[in-house]
Amino acid sequence: MEKVRYSTMTNISYYCLNDDENSLKLELFKYIHSVDFQKIHFEYDKKELTTNLFIKNESVIPFSQNKLVNEEIKKHGDDILPIVLVNGSIVKRGDFLSTDEMSDILGIGLSIQTD
């Protein structure tokens, strides 16, 4: 994962091909994407967290509007997805952020419990 400088606001954007990618990593993102989590994070860390989840099979507009994402797809095709941006910089291609990577970005410990 590439290093990104973080400020008092963190924006994490996921650009995915579809939403049926059965992945715990995507479920983790959907959890932090919730308003409830973002409120708790702000209360804990005093940093605003905004998230975006873009699904190409639902709308190609965000993919064509983001210059970095558009260039990556033109160069590598849809196989490069998902693409993860943090504060406007690409930090990961071809996979979602792991729990540890997400923890590092948010500055808090995260864990996933499964059956």
Give yes or no for residue 43 having a pLDDT over 80: no
Give yes or no for residue 7 having a pLDDT over 80: no
108 or 20, which is more confident:
108
Radius of gyration for the chain, computed over Cα atoms and rounded to the nearest angstrom: 14
Confidence (pLDDT) at 1 = 53
Confidence (pLDDT) at 55 = 94
Give yes or no for residue 22 having a pLDDT over 70: no
Confidence (pLDDT) at 35 = 84
Confidence (pLDDT) at 9 = 83
- The pTM assigned to this predicted structure is 0.82
Please name every residue paired with 49 in a beta bridge, in sequence order, or none if there are none: 10
Q: How far is Cα 103 from Cα 25, in angstroms, rounded to an integer? A: 12
Please name every residue paired with 115 in a beta bridge, in sequence order, or none if there are none: none
Which sign, positive or negative, has the C-alpha torsion 7, 10, 13, 14? positive
- Give the pair of three-digit tokens for residue 90: 């690409």
57 or 24, which is more confident:
57
Which residue shows structure tokens 């990104």?
4
